[in-house]
Amino acid sequence: MTDGALAIETHGLTKRFGSQLAVNQLDIAVPSGSVFGFLGPNGSGKTTTIRMLLGLASATSGEIRMLGSAMPQSLQSVLPRVGALVEGPAIYPFLSGRANLARLDSADRFASSRTRTARVDAALDRVGLTHAARKKAHAYSLGMKQRLGIANALLTPRDLLILDEPTNGLDPQGTREMRNLIRSLAAEGTTVFVSSHLLAEIEQTCSHVAVMSAGRLVAQGTLDDLRAEGVTRVEVRTPDLDLAREVLARWGLQSQPGPIDSSLTAALTTSVPVEQLSEALVIAGVRLRGFTAEGASLEDRFVALTGEGFDVAE
Amino acid sequence: MSQSDTRRNLGLALLGSEITIVFRRRRNQAMLLALAAVPILIAVAVRLSSNTSGRGPAFLASISENGLFVALTALTVSIPLFLPLTVGVVAGDTIAGEANLGTLRYLLISPAGRLRLLLVKYAGAAAFCLAATAIVVIAGVAIGAALFPVRPVTLLSGDTIDGAEYAVRCLLLIAYVSMSMLGLSAIGLFLSTLTTVPVGAMAATIVLSAASQILDVLPQLAWLHPWLFSHYWLGIADLLTSPISFDSFQSNALLQLGYIAVFGTLAYGRFATKDVLS
Ligand SMILES: Nc1ncnc2c1ncn2[C@@H]1O[C@H](COP(=O)(O)OP(=O)(O)O)[C@@H](O)[C@H]1O
Ligand SMILES: [Mg+2]
C-alpha cells in the first residue's frame, strides 16, 4: 500500500431507518497505517456506519471505498483482508472457544483449512484465551467473549481491522491489553479503525479521530488538529501591549487586560490558527514574554462537539 | 497483500462445519433420538399386547407376523407430525438462529457470501431430513428384527420379496420420505430469512405443514391438492408393490423441486439484500 492511500473513504454516506437519519452525509477518510478513532456518544451512528462499511447493511445513499475498492461491489475480495468486531462479540454457546473460531474461519474461502488449527491457536494465544480454549463458550464471561471476538478478527493477517467498541466489558487489565494489542497491530502495519464513546480510549491509542454526533460528522483530523481546534483563548504577555492589541484586532479578536499588568487575553470566537496568531505577533515586532493557548481540554471539546445532555440522541 | 494473493478454495469447509453443527447440537440429537423412539415404542407396545386386532395405523396388525413391518409402520406414524416437526425446527433455525446468536454478521463478514451461506444452510437442513428419516427406518428394522419373526415379506400386491430386496425397498423409503421433506425445508429456510426469532420461523413452518395436510383432506379443495407440498407424503405404499411403481416418486420429486425452486428463490431474494442488523 502506498503512503497517503486511504484504507477507508466514504462520500455522502447516509443511512435512514424510517424517518430517522442514523448516519447523515458522512465523509470520512481513514489514512492507511493510521489508528483511527471513531468517537461519538451512544446512538450517534458508529455501529450503523461500520455495518455499511462491512456490507451488512446497505447505504441509503453515498459511496464507500475500502482498501482501494468500491464497496459493496468488491465485498468478497476485500473482506478477507478485513478483521472486524461489530456491536460486540457473538458466539455459538454450545461450541468451545476454539470450535467457535474454527467455524467462523471456515466461512472464509481464502483461509486455508490446512493451517486452520494453527491460526486459531495463535489467535487465541494473542488474546490470552489459550487456557479457556476448550471451554464451552456459554461459560465465558463478558470479557472472555469480547476477547474471543477480537481473536476472530485476527484469524488471518489483516490489512484493516474495524473494532466497534472493543473495550466494552473488559476489566482494566483487559482494557490495557487491548490498547497494547492495537498498538502492536498498528506497528505491524495494520490500519486500525476503532470506535468508542470514551474519549480517553481514543486519546491513548489513536493518531486520527473523527467525531460523530447524532449521525453527522462534526470533526475529523489528527488528534493534534482536534486539540488545536479546542483552543478557546490566548494569553499574551508582553511589554508592547498596544501593539499586541492592534495585531489581535486585525484577526478580529477583542482583547481584555490579562491576569497580570503586562498581559492581554483574547477569546477565540472563530477558529483562528494559534500558530499563525503567534507568528503575526512576532512579525509585528511584539516582544513576547509569554504566549499561552488555553485549551479547553479535549474532553471539553468533545462535549462541545457532541452536546452536553445525557439523553441518547434521537 | 496477505490474503488476496492466495487462491480461494472451494469452500467445502463451511459445509462440513454446518453439517457437524447440525448433528452435534444437543437439541437436534434429542429430536433424532425421539424419532428413533417411535418404532421402538410401537414394537414394544405391540409385543406387550396380545391383542393386535384393534384399530390402528395401517400395517400395525402385520407387525406381530413380520418384524420388517415395524419400520414401515413407524414411518407412516411419523410422517404427518413428528417428522415435519423436527424438520421445521431445523429449517426454521437456519438463518434466524444465526441472526439470533449474532453469528450471522460474523459469517457474512468472514465472508461466507450470502448465496453460499443459504446453500450451505439448506444442505445442512437436507442432511437432517435424510438422517431423521433414516433413523426411523433403521431403528424400526433393528427393533423389528429383535422382537418379531423376520420372514420373507408379502407385499401389498401379494408378491413375496426376500431380505435383500427388502433392504432395497427400505432405502427407497428413506429416499422418498426425506425427499418429501425438502419442500418443507425450503419453506422453513425462506421463513427463516424473515425474522431474527428462530422460534417464530420454526412455528410458522410447522403450522404450514399442518395446514397443508388439513387442506389436503378437504374435498372442496380437490383442485388444490396436487399443489400441496404434503400431497404425496403418504404415497410410500407405491414403493411396496411389485414391480415398484415410481409414479408417486416422480410426481413427488417434481413437486418438491418446484417448492425448492420457488422458496429458494424467495429466500435468496429476501436474504441477498437484507440488512443484517442483529
Ligand atoms: N435496526 C434499527 N432500526 C431502527 N433504528 C436503528 C436501528 N439500528 C440503529 N438504529 C438507530 O440508529 C442510530 C444510530 O445507532 P448506532 O449506529 O447503533 O449508534 P452507536 O453505535 O453510535 O451507538 C440510533 O439512534 C439507533 O436508534
Ligand atoms: Mg454501537
Does ligand 1 lie within 6 Å of residue A42's CB atom?
A: yes
**Residue B12 CB partners (closer than 8 Å, separation 6+):** none
Residues of B in contact with A150 (CB under 8 A): none
Question: DSSP alpha helices (H): ranges in chain B?
Answer: 12-24, 26-48, 60-63, 69-78, 82-101, 103-109, 114-147, 163-192, 198-215, 247-273
CA B58 / ligand 1 centre spacing (Å): 58
The pLDDT value given to residue A296: 65
What would the pLDDT profile of A111-146 be if each residue is shown by its tens digit? Answer: 888 899 999 999 999 999 999 999 999 999 988 999
For residues A276 and B155, which has the higher predicted lDDT (pLDDT)? A276
Is A288 inside a domain boundary?
yes
Residue that finishes a domain, picked among A221, A249, A276: A221
Same structural domain, A167 and A84: yes
Same structural domain, A216 and A235: no
Q: How far apart are CA B77 and CA B254, in angstroms?
A: 24
Q: How far apart are CA A92 and CA A101, in angstroms?
A: 10
Is A311 inside a domain boundary?
no
User: Does pLDDT of B108 surpass 50?
Assistant: yes
Residue environment code for B234-246, b if the CB has 16+ CB neighbours within 10 A, otherwise e: bbbebbbeeebee
Same structural domain, A73 and A143: yes
Same structural domain, A76 and A162: yes
Same structural domain, A167 and A196: yes
**Residue B8 CB partners (closer than 8 Å, separation 6+):** A109, A110
Same structural domain, A155 and A95: yes
CATH number for position A195: 3.40.50.300
CA A50 / ligand 2 centre spacing (Å): 9
Same structural domain, A148 and A37: yes
Same structural domain, A105 and A253: no
What would the pLDDT profile of A170-182 be if each residue is shown by its tens digit? Answer: 888 888 888 998 9
Instruction: Indicate which atom in ligand 1 lies nearest the CA of residue A312.
Output: 25
Q: pTM for the full model? A: 0.87
Q: Cis omega (within 30 of 0) on the bond before B111?
A: yes
User: Does pLDDT of B188 surpass 90?
Assistant: yes
Instruction: Indicate which atom in ligand 1 lies nearest the CA of residue A87.
Output: 21
Residues of B in contact with A60 (CB under 8 A): none
CATH number for position A253: 3.30.70.260
Residue that finishes a domain, picked among A221, A255, A282: A221
Residues of B in contact with A14 (CB under 8 A): none
Range of the domain at A166: 6-221
Q: What's the number of domains chain A is made of?
A: 2
What would the pLDDT profile of B219-260 be if each residue is shown by its tens digit? Answer: 999 999 999 999 999 988 888 777 888 888 999 999 999 999
- Is B231 in contact with B255 (CB distance < 8 Å)? yes
Q: For strand A191-196 and strand A35-39, is the pairing parallel, antiparallel, or unpaired? A: parallel
Same structural domain, A37 and A184: yes
Same structural domain, A278 and A146: no
Is A88 inside a domain boundary?
yes
Same structural domain, A148 and A276: no
The pLDDT value given to residue A234: 84
Question: Which ligand is closest to the CA of A306, given by its number?
Answer: 1
% of chain A exceeding 70 in pLDDT: 94
Is A135 inside a domain boundary?
yes
B193 Cα to chain A: minimum distance (Å): 14
Angle, to 10 degrees, between the axis of helix B114-147 and the axis of helix B82-101? 150
- Is B93 in contact with B201 (CB distance < 8 Å)? yes
Q: What number is the average pLDDT over the span B51-75? A: 70
Other Cβ atoms less than 10 A from the Cβ of B34: the count is 15
What would the pLDDT profile of A22-36 be if each residue is shown by its tens digit? Answer: 999 999 999 999 999
The pLDDT value given to residue B166: 83
Other Cβ atoms less than 10 A from the Cβ of A131: the count is 9
What would the pLDDT profile of A90-109 be if each residue is shown by its tens digit? Answer: 999 999 999 999 999 999 98
Residue nearest to atom 14 of ligand 1 (CA): A45
Same structural domain, A261 and A127: no
CA B202 / ligand 2 centre spacing (Å): 30
- Is B155 in contact with B242 (CB distance < 8 Å)? yes
Is A300 inside a domain boundary?
no
Residue-by-residue DSSP string for B54-115: SS-STTHHHHTT-TTHHHHHHHHHHTTTHHHHHHHHHHHHHHHHHHHHTHHHHHHHTT--HH
Is A301 inside a domain boundary?
no
Q: Which of A63-72, A220-229, A235-244, B139-148 has the lowest mean pLDDT?
A: A220-229
Q: At A165, which amino acid appears? A: E
Alpha carbon A312 to its chain centroid, in Å, reads: 20
Residues of A in contact with B99 (CB under 8 A): none
Is A314 inside a domain boundary?
no
B4: pLDDT confidence band, cut at 50, 70 and 90? very low
Substitution target from B6, B14, B106, B275 for chain A, most A beta carbons within 10 A: B106
Q: What are the angstrom distances between the C-alpha of A26 and each of A13, A214, A286, B68, B69? A: 5, 11, 43, 70, 69
Q: For strand A231-237 and strand A290-295, is the pairing parallel, antiparallel, or unpaired? A: antiparallel
B23: pLDDT confidence band, cut at 50, 70 and 90? very high
Q: Which of A69-83, A147-161, A238-252, B15-29 has the lowest mean pLDDT?
A: A238-252
CA A107 / ligand 1 centre spacing (Å): 27
**In a 3-state reduction of DSSP, which class is residue A257?**
strand
Q: How far apart are CA B90 and CA B202, in angstroms?
A: 8
The pLDDT value given to residue A39: 92
User: Does pLDDT of A1 surpass 70?
Assistant: no
